[in-house]
Amino acid sequence: MKGIREIFRYTFKYRGTAVTMIVCNLLYIVFNLLSLALFVPFLQIIFLNQESTEKITEPIYNGGFLEAFSYAANKFQYTMQEMAETSPLNALLFVCFSVAIAFFLKNLFRYGAIWFQSQLRMSVVRDIRDKIYQKSLRLPLSYYTDERKGDLMSRMQSDVGEIEIAVISVLELIFREPISIIIHLGLLIYWSPELTLFSLILLPFTALIISVIGKSLKRTAKQGQAQMGVVFSMIEETLGGIRIIKAFNASKQVTDSFKHENLKHQKLITKAFRKRDLSSPLNETVGAIVMLSIVWYGGSLILDPNNDSTFDGAQFVTFIIVFSQLLRPIQGIARSMANMNKADASLDRINDVLNADEKIYDTENPTKITDLNEKVSFNGVNFKYKDDLVLKNVSFEIPLGKTIALVGESGSGKSTIADLLPRFYDVLDGSITYDGVDIKNVTAHNLRQQIGIVSQESILFNATINENIAFGMLDSSQEEIIRAAKIANAHDFIENLDEGYETNIGERGNKLSGGQRQRISIARAILKNPPILILDEATSALDTESEHLVQEALDKLMKDRTSLVIAHRLSTIRKADKILVLSKGEIIEEGNHDDLMKAKGMYHRLSSLQGINE
């Protein structure tokens, strides 16, 4: 199974912890078996006294590794016999004391395995979650238009949780349970090869049960995890749109929709649990049938007067006890296989993210760029998201220190142009050059160092104002942060907050007004001090007073700076050096405000609709 190999690789990244856990498990198996086997000599003494059979003679060690085990067992039996003849109660006390020590060591190593297992499983979970998080930051914006954020959260939570369980299962499946079976079988064969062979006849049915259930379980588990992504997405959308839900009295509508999807998830997960848990009672039933068969067959061997086997009643009783212990690792394999099948489905979903095409790749020998010296050029750019072109042969220049504005109806390609410049997407045809250097030959990190963005929606984080202004620029001094805030007309309202610059602004900055959030975003761009500035509808969502303050801050930010501005409010771009009018992905008009108004084209029509006559 491919999933076992992959989880094994994740696990053995921590080789020392994994090996220590395996050793503890092996010692647990040994002492567990020893705690049972120590009863054999005492039972034999009881049978010896009752049946008056021949006494055990003192064994002689002839050398050899394998002979050492047989010698140790016979020597222990002989010692017990000698003690029983002189003081049966002392012999019983000695056996009880020996078994107590074996039980203590068994549980000591069992806890040792759990101790290291706890560290191992969470280390692997942390690594996988780190990888998914880092990958999510490298994925292009197009990924998030096709995938639900809730589904990605589900993969980072529920699917990774299945991997956590599988980390333990894979070590048990490879190291603990098979070795436990081998050791138990070795002892059973030593006692009675004939009875052991008979006991194994029905066990292949267990393997068949595991196989059939496992394949069905993986399919159901994958469907359940995918449905969990849908549920997470609905929760994320509901919390994000709670204001609109309340405003439109849509609580019942979204609740009914959530209940429907949640019910689907419940049915799928219930089905998966039932399939997973089915293997245990089936294996137990098969085990009981095998056990009863052994009792019948083994009892017939002992009771048969013509049987000359050395297999006695004490060994038979212990054989039954040890064989019952053999069923535990077999059931453990069934349980681990069920966990691995669920984890295999989760691993497929995790790998879908980790193996997703990042699309934006850095060239092997990138060119390094610094401050803009001449211009940024769009040269015959074509672009599409899926089937239809959204930009068609777009060409224009943004000269050093000039402001270029983009206007047009919704869907004309304005935001797409703004997204292509920092390489959130790569062009389909044509090129974008920075002082003559194709931006595809520049690393995304180096390119984005030269660009500052202020968007329509102020993207802030659940942190302090200091941390939001210095976002991505952690080496900034407090004086630099305050200077940026003053230029952005934000310093005064920040100072009036309870904790000033150390005030936490809440999730997405919801403790601040829209104008305050936007001025924090502008302060962030000012602190970065980039050669190129992209303004995407930076004032369109603000009230008049806030717009005035924000526009004043933007004017300071844009002064002598190379800027690309997207605007619906055409009054904010009248001073732009050049205005490009787009329609259906093409530039249909260009010029300054006065030239375009005289041309009486689309720009004039849009301006008239907004009450701008000159």
369-398 tens-digit pLDDT: 988 999 999 999 999 888 788 999 999 999
Say which range, 74-83, 149-158, 291-300, has the weakest mean pLDDT.
74-83
Model pLDDT, residue 203: 63
For residue 158, give every residue at least 6 positions away whose Cβ sits within 8 Å of its Cβ, in sequence order, or none: 225, 228, 346
Which part of the chain is CATH 3.40.50.300?
Answer: 362-450+532-614, 458-529
- State the Cα–Cα distance between residues 418 and 491, nearest whole angstrom: 29
Strand locations in 331-455 (E): 375-384, 389-399, 403-408, 429-434, 437-438, 451-455
- Find out whether 192 and 42 touch, Cβ atoms under 8 Å: no
- pLDDT, mean of residues 568-576: 79
- pLDDT, mean of residues 174-195: 79
pLDDT above 60 for 49: no
Stronger pLDDT, 236 or 578, i.e. the higher one: 578
Which part of the chain is CATH 1.20.1560.10?
Answer: 2-354
Condensed to tens digits (0 to 9), the pLDDT of residues 412-450 reads 889 899 999 999 888 999 999 999 999 999 998 899 889
- pLDDT, mean of residues 303-326: 69
pLDDT above 90 for 9: no
pLDDT above 60 for 47: no
| Mean pLDDT value across the chain | 80
The candidate with the shortest Cα–Cα distance to 331, out of 210, 504, 246, is 210
The pLDDT confidence band at residue 53, using thresholds 50, 70 and 90, is very low
Provide the CATH number for the domain formed by 2-354 in this structure.
1.20.1560.10
For residue 159, give every residue at least 6 positions away whose Cβ sits within 8 Å of its Cβ, in sequence order, or none: 225, 346, 347, 349, 350
pLDDT above 60 for 51: no
Model pLDDT, residue 291: 74
Stronger pLDDT, 238 or 521, i.e. the higher one: 521
Task: Please give the full DSSP string across 167-192, using - where no structure is assigned.
Answer: HHHHHIIIIIHHHHHHHHHHHHHHH-
pLDDT above 60 for 48: no
Stronger pLDDT, 441 or 221, i.e. the higher one: 441
Residue 464 sits at φ, ψ, to 5 deg, of -75, 165
Provide the CATH number for the domain formed by 362-450+532-614 in this structure.
3.40.50.300
pLDDT above 90 for 166: no
pLDDT above 60 for 233: yes
- pLDDT, mean of residues 102-116: 89
- pLDDT, mean of residues 237-242: 72
Number of CB atoms found within 10 A of residue 333's CB: 23
- State the Cα–Cα distance between residues 352 and 199, nearest whole angstrom: 45
Q: Which residues of 216-253 are buried (b: 16+ CB within 10 A; e: fewer)?
A: ebbebbbbbbbbbbbbbbbebbbeeeeeebeeeeeeee
Model pLDDT, residue 207: 60
- State the Cα–Cα distance between residues 316 and 299, nearest whole angstrom: 8
- pLDDT, mean of residues 252-278: 82
- pLDDT, mean of residues 117-128: 86
Stronger pLDDT, 147 or 428, i.e. the higher one: 428
The pLDDT confidence band at residue 41, using thresholds 50, 70 and 90, is low
pLDDT above 50 for 52: no
pLDDT above 70 for 144: yes
pLDDT above 50 for 137: yes
Identity of the amino acid at 217: L
pLDDT above 90 for 33: no
Q: What 3-state class would DSSP assign to 527? A: helix
Provide the CATH number for the domain formed by 458-529 in this structure.
3.40.50.300
Condensed to tens digits (0 to 9), the pLDDT of residues 341-360 reads 777 878 888 888 888 887 88
Number of CB atoms found within 10 A of residue 369's CB: 19
- Find out whether 290 and 199 touch, Cβ atoms under 8 Å: yes
- Find out whether 369 and 443 touch, Cβ atoms under 8 Å: no
Stronger pLDDT, 226 or 579, i.e. the higher one: 579
Distance of CA 533 to the CA centre of its chain: 35
Model pLDDT, residue 420: 92
- State the Cα–Cα distance between residues 334 and 282, nearest whole angstrom: 10
pTM of the model: 0.70
